[in-house]
Structure formats: structure tokens, C-alpha cells
Amino acid sequence: MNPRLKNRFVIITGASSGLGEALAYKVAESGGNLLLLARRKERLARISKEINEKYHVSSSYYELDVRNLKEVEETFQIITKEYERIDVLVNNAGFGIFQSVEDASLSEMQAMFEVNVYGLIACTKMVLPKMRQQKEGHIINIASQAGKMATPKSSFYSSTKHAVIGFTNSLRMEVMDQSIFVTAVNPGPIRTNFFEQADTSGKYVKNIDRWMLRPEDVAKKIVRAMLTNKREINLPWWMESASRLYRLAPALFEKVARKAFFQK
């Protein structure tokens, strides 16, 4: 629970399943009002109805593909006109495909950057004027441990998450004097349908199954941090420790951890 969210308005992209859906329920438990965004309108409708009935908070939904920048602009123009304030934006929409550079297609590369990076930045740009006007707000960007510690067959995906972390760090400095908080969330593998597309062979999930995070646990930590000046949320702790060692001595770490890197 987070009492700071009572009667606040929280936007979540990619809210129709996985971590986004788990976040929606955790925000509602804390008394926050929700604006749910995703491509699958029927799933959003079901989630929104359940939240309205169970938690008695406001829960609205909008069909949105963040890859379509014009659609992002139009949807957020509607939202900013209908709602007096936006307190939190969670940029959660994203996807990955685990393939080597040679095997992955250029269209897959383009799609990952359009969703994971351009869409995230576009959504952020749309809410910043409102947050500046109200002199407070919180941008939460779902990045990944893959953005800190790249592994084979995740070159395109890791590149997008590196970009998200870089964008988040720069944005934080730009708005730090305006009472707008900016947080990067860097989870390891989460047990969601993300891997239905990312890992079609099922090999990676099989190899790391016992280490996968539960979306409810990740959502709980994120919601607790909402409207606080939290720089990063890194999960699990041991993977964050490994990524720190990697940044200190990358060549040595790659040599020692070579077997662990080739799980895909």
C-alpha cells in the first residue's frame, strides 16, 4: 500500500497484461485512480471494470499503440483535456525478441526501438507540461537489467533498454528543480507473457525458470516508490550486484560468466 496515491491519477502503458496489469491492481489497492493504456481494448475493459467494482476508484482506459506517435499525441491530448492532473506516468509498454544480430530482421529492430524507446519518450513528452504546471509528478520508466548488462542474442533489446536508462538519467536532471521525480526500474526476467514472443523456443525460460520474478512482487515495489524521489529500482538484488561487477570489470566478468551469459 502507498497512502500517497490516494485520489491521485496514474497512467500505465502496456496495462493489458503482465507487469502493467499487476501495477494497475496495486495502484487501485492504494486508492489511486487509473488511466490504462494498451492495444488490447477488450482486456483493458475487463481490468478496468474489475478495478471499478472491487476498489471503488476511477479506472478509465484508452486503446493505444505507443508505436504510433500520432496516436500517442492524439490520445494524450484527450487525456490532458479530460483530467485536471496527472500524478504518475508508468512507461511500461515494451517487448523483446531474443535473436542474434545476424538472425534478427531489420523490421524487428525497428519495431523494438519504436515501442521501447520512441513510444516511451513520446508518452513522457505528452505529460511533462501538465506536471510542470501542477509543480509535481513522477515519471517511472520500465527499463531492464539487460540495459546494464548485455548478453548474447539480446543485442537489439539491450540497446533499447540502454537507451531508456540514458534517457531516464538525462530527464531526471532536466526536471530535478521542478519537483518531478524520475525513476528507472531495472528488473531481471519477470514471469509474464513477454517471453511468448521473446523466447519462442522456450529454452531461455526453461534455463532461468527458478530465478524469474513474480509480476505482483515487482509491482508492489514500484507502487511503494510512487511519488518518492527514488532514483532506481533494481531487481533481483543478486542480478544488480552482478551488473555492478560487470561495469567495474567487463572483460573479466564476460570471461568468468561466459557460461551464464549463454542461456538463450
Residue 226 to residue 139: CA distance in whole angstroms:
9
One-letter amino acid at 7 equals N
Residue 61 bridge partners (DSSP): 36
The kind and range of the H/E element at 162 are helix 155-175
Q: Which of 48, 59, 53, 3 is nearest to 30 (CA)?
A: 3
Q: What angle do CA 72, 164, 13 make, to 5 degrees?
A: 35
CB-based contact 195:205 (threshold 8 Å): yes
Q: Which of 119, 125, 112, 14 is nearest to 80 (CA)?
A: 125
- Collapsing DSSP to helix, strand or coil, 141 comes out as strand
CB-based contact 182:175 (threshold 8 Å): yes
Q: Which of 208, 185, 219, 220 is nearest to 20 (CA)?
A: 219
Residue 84 to residue 88: CA distance in whole angstroms:
13
**Active site residue ranges:** 157
Adjacency order of strands within the sheet including 59-63:
59-63, 33-38, 9-13, 88-91, 137-142, 180-187, 232-235
